[in-house]
């Protein structure tokens, strides 16, 4: 039980700006186990990343593997190896993470710039043009760009990063004549395949998807043999082509393209230029109308005329990775159900919420889940939910579309995101009250310690794999190392920031973020632990503790990952301090801690990546 906390409003050097009051905490707090585990996880993650990098990245920044074009094991997988390293730095990880990521990214662009293909023109002069993928789908492009999107959380003033983000966003706003991806009249992205070379306005080929074969034997992650057996590429290549035989429809818009709004969102948060916000809203609003026209379902194919399903006689559920994407996968020789509609619609509409603060975007996501839940059924005591819609292959079909492929997957991860973005208790009703959500709801008090211990166990297992890895660069393809990345960030994201990632394409939505004003960098300062104990639509309870018995620490607490929320006040020990802004500075005496209750207005401010000491400049733009 924490004793009475001394809170003093101070006008001292650690107060950053107007609307950022300073709070002094002097009350001793014995270091909680969760705080010690957080500090150890930040340290171990950073050290593991350094050792992983030393093993698998050469002096040029090249990942030591055999590069090839393709979506099975191509360029997106190579850079995805470092997908959460920039996020770890933003949480308080070692400064070495930024140097490693930057060198790996530059090396990656050079390494895959040297790639040449003969069976597809997409990489005949390299996989990248103007430092952006030539043409691909946003499921794979988005996976590969996760680390890049999170980089702005830590180094928003990097001029090269700012220029790149504006340039990339411009490729989807028709600011680049070589990349006319967007139709401003119909408000659509013209193709499932898009990038720095513009939209693909033809059917894709198998070689666009799979690339050229390369000589040698490899640990093929997509093969039935798995990663532990060497397989000759020449013998496996026909099967790799067979994997993609039904993936060729490309022309027209697809919900996965909503992920392109992540470029504009970051450009908006970096510059404050409203044209980026306006484009996000324009594109998301077009999808809002399309979903309404399809009974609340996101259509998975939109013709160049802007009409859902116009290329399929009005069957809006068709299209690659669509509602009806039940295909025969010739590689595994089985029917496979691959509906990826939620992988694009959720990040895209989450970006629209961040950019505008308009909760009506959540109504669209909620209605989509309403449609799925309306079809649930109980079979043998199990509640089953449909995963697909349309004409099911292998089932009796009378020409009328139907929901099919019922499983126990309720899309709980996406429902969790929807609840956290809306904080509507109706959304909470559909989520299991276990794990992190259970902890926030007052159950499972030991969850923080268990979650952090699980992440430390992941680091140990991954590093054991690295130490025991007998492969060589000429037997590894780009996807081999994905399962060996030792960095674990989910527990820290939940417990310290109140954020949650359900899929493999990210935008950070969180209740808090932290900055170290003494070192002038993002992340929890050295020795500081943070635990979010409760969250509601207008309140958050946060415990901060300085585990050092020797040094005082100062932490700036921000409302939201991008300052999109607003602190109305902060209360502790019976004393309430008005705030009226997104920032509060807390000075923690050696060995001191406090439980702080923040009254919060959600999604009230424009998102910004400007750090607290640069905030006045950003607001003036």
pLDDT above 70 covers what percent of the chain?
95
DSSP 28: B
Q: Name the phi and psi angles at 597, rounded to 5.
A: -110, 115
pLDDT band at residue 15 using 50, 70 and 90 as cut-offs:
very low
Which residue in 456, 472, 475, 487 sits closest to 82, CA to CA?
487
Q: Name the phi and psi angles at 179, rounded to 5.
A: -135, 65
Sign of CA dihedral 83, 88, 91, 94: negative
Domain boundaries, the chain: 7-30+511-619
pLDDT band at residue 1 using 50, 70 and 90 as cut-offs:
very low
Average pLDDT score over residue span 277-288: 98
Residue 393 in this model has a pLDDT that exceeds 90: no
d(C-alpha 140, C-alpha 505), whole Å: 9
Average pLDDT score over residue span 166-185: 98
Q: At what angle do helices 33-56 and 447-468 cross, to 10 degrees?
A: 20
pLDDT band at residue 149 using 50, 70 and 90 as cut-offs:
very high
DSSP 575: E
The helix, strand and coil proportions of the chain, stated in percent and rounded to the nearest 5, come to 40, 20, 45
Average pLDDT score over residue span 377-386: 97
More confident residue, 621 or 314: 314
Query: Rounded mean pLDDT of the chain?
Result: 94
For residues 493 and 531, is the Cβ–Cβ distance under 8 A?
no
Residue 395 in this model has a pLDDT that exceeds 60: no
Residue 514 in this model has a pLDDT that exceeds 60: yes
Level-2 CATH architecture, domain 7-30+511-619 = Sandwich (2.60)
Residue 42 in this model has a pLDDT that exceeds 70: yes
Residue 23 in this model has a pLDDT that exceeds 80: yes
pLDDT band at residue 10 using 50, 70 and 90 as cut-offs:
very low
pLDDT at residue 603, rounded to an integer: 98
Average pLDDT score over residue span 228-244: 92
Residue 268 in this model has a pLDDT that exceeds 70: yes
Please give the model's pTM, rounded to 2 decimal places.
0.95
pLDDT at residue 397, rounded to an integer: 58
pLDDT at residue 467, rounded to an integer: 97
Which residue in 430, 436, 588 sits closest to 497, CA to CA?
436
pLDDT at residue 396, rounded to an integer: 56
Chain centroid to CA 211: how far? 27
pLDDT at residue 13, rounded to an integer: 35
Residue 394 in this model has a pLDDT that exceeds 70: no
3-state secondary structure of 453: helix
Residue 87 in this model has a pLDDT that exceeds 50: yes
Which residue in 387, 377, 399, 390 sits closest to 294, CA to CA?
390
Residue 544: both structure tokens together:
């901060």
Angle value at C-alpha 303, between 298 and 307, nearest 5 degrees = 60
pLDDT band at residue 2 using 50, 70 and 90 as cut-offs:
very low
**Cβ neighbours for 461, distance < 8 A, ≥ 6 positions apart:** none
Q: Which residue has the tokens 């799979």?
A: 210
Chain centroid to CA 8: how far? 38
pLDDT at residue 398, rounded to an integer: 63
Residue 617 in this model has a pLDDT that exceeds 70: no
Residue 377: both structure tokens together:
């059924």
pLDDT band at residue 79 using 50, 70 and 90 as cut-offs:
very high
d(C-alpha 127, C-alpha 141), whole Å: 12
pLDDT at residue 332, rounded to an integer: 87
pLDDT at residue 8, rounded to an integer: 34
pLDDT in tens, 308-355: 999 999 999 999 999 999 999 988 889 999 999 999 999 999 999 999
pLDDT at residue 221, rounded to an integer: 82
pLDDT in tens, 554-597: 999 999 999 999 999 999 878 999 999 999 999 999 999 999 99
pLDDT in tens, 411-469: 999 999 999 999 999 999 999 999 999 999 999 999 999 999 999 999 999 999 999 99
Average pLDDT score over residue span 273-302: 98
pLDDT at residue 506, rounded to an integer: 85
Dihedral-angle region of residue 64 (phi above 0 means left; psi in -120 to 50 means alpha; beta otherwise): beta
Q: Name the phi and psi angles at 23, rounded to 5.
A: -120, 130
Average pLDDT score over residue span 123-146: 98
For residues 153 and 90, is the Cβ–Cβ distance under 8 A?
yes
Sign of CA dihedral 227, 233, 236, 242: positive
Average pLDDT score over residue span 516-538: 98
DSSP 47-108: HHHHHHHHHHB-TTS-BSS----SSSSSHHHHHHTTTTHHHHHHHT--THHHHHHHHHHHHH
């Amino acid at each position: 039980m924490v004793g009475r906390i001394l809170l003093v409003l101070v006008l001292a050097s650690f107060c950053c700006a107007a609307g950022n009051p300073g709070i002094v905490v002097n009350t001793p707090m014995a270091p909680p186990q969760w705080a010690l585990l957080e500090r150890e996880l930040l340290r171990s993650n950073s050290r593991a990343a350094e050792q992983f990098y030393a093993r698998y990245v050469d002096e040029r920044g090249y990942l030591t593997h055999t590069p090839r074009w393709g979506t099975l094991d191509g360029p997106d997988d190579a850079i995805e190896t470092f997908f959460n390293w920039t996020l770890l730095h933003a949480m308080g990880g070692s400064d070495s993470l930024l140097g490693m990521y930057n060198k790996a990214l530059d090396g990656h662009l050079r390494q895959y710039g040297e790639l040449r293909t003969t069976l597809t023109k997409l990489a005949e002069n390299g996989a990248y043009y103007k430092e952006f993928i030539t043409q691909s789908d946003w499921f794979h492009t988005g996976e590969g760009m996760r680390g890049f999107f999170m980089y702005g959380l830590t180094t928003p003033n990097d001029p090269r990063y700012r220029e790149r983000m504006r340039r990339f966003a411009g490729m989807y706003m028709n600011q680049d004549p070589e990349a006319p991806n967007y139709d401003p009249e119909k408000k659509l992205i013209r193709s499932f395949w898009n990038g720095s070379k513009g939209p693909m306005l033809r059917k894709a080929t198998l070689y666009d998807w799979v690339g050229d074969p390369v000589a040698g034997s490899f640990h093929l992650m997509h093969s039935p043999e798995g990663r532990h057996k060497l397989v000759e590429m020449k013998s496996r290549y026909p099967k790799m082509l067979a994997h993609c035989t039904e993936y060729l429809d490309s022309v027209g818009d697809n919900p996965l393209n909503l992920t392109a709004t992540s470029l504009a969102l970051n450009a908006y948060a970096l510059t404050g230029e409203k044209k980026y916000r306006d484009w996000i809203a324009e594109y998301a609003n077009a999808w809002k109308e399309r979903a309404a026209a399809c009974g609340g379902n996101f259509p998975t194919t939109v013709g160049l005329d802007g009409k859902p399903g116009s290329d399929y006689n009005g069957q809006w559920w068709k299209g690659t990775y669509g509602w009806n994407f039940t295909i025969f996968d010739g590689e595994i020789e089985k029917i496979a159900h691959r509906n990826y509609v939620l992988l694009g619609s959720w990040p895209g509409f989450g970006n629209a919420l961040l950019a505008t603060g308009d909760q009506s975007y959540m109504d669209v996501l909620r209605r989509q889940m309403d449609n799925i839940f309306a079809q649930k059924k109980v079979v043998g005591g199990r509640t089953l939910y449909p995963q697909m819609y349309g004409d099911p292959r292998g089932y009796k079909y009378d020409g009328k579309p139907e929901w099919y492929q019922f499983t126990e997957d309720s899309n709980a991860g996406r429902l969790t995101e929807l609840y956290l973005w809306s904080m509507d208790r109706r959304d909470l009703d559909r989520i299991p009250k276990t794990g992190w959500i259970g902890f926030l709801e007052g159950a499972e008090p030991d969850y923080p310690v268990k979650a952090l211990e699980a992440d430390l166990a992941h680091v140990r297992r991954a590093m054991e794999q690295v130490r025991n890895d007998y492969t060589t660069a000429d037997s590894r393809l780009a996807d081999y190392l994905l399962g060996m990345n030792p960095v674990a960030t989910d527990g820290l994201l939940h417990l310290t920031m109140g954020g949650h990632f359900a899929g493999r394409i990210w935008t950070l939505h969180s209740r808090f973020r932290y900055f170290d004003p003494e070192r002038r960098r993002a992340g929890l300062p050295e020795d500081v632990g943070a635990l979010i104990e409760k969250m509601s639509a207008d309140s958050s309870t946060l415990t901060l503790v300085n585990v050092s018995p020797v040094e005082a620490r100062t932490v700036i607490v921000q409302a939201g990952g991008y300052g999109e929320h607003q602190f109305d006040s902060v209360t502790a020990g019976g004393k309430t301090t008005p705030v009226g802004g997104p920032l509060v500075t807390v000075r923690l005496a050696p060995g001191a801690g406090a439980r702080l209750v923040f009254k919060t207005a959600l999604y009230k401010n424009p998102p910004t990546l400007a750090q607290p000491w640069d905030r006045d400049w950003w607001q003036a733009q």
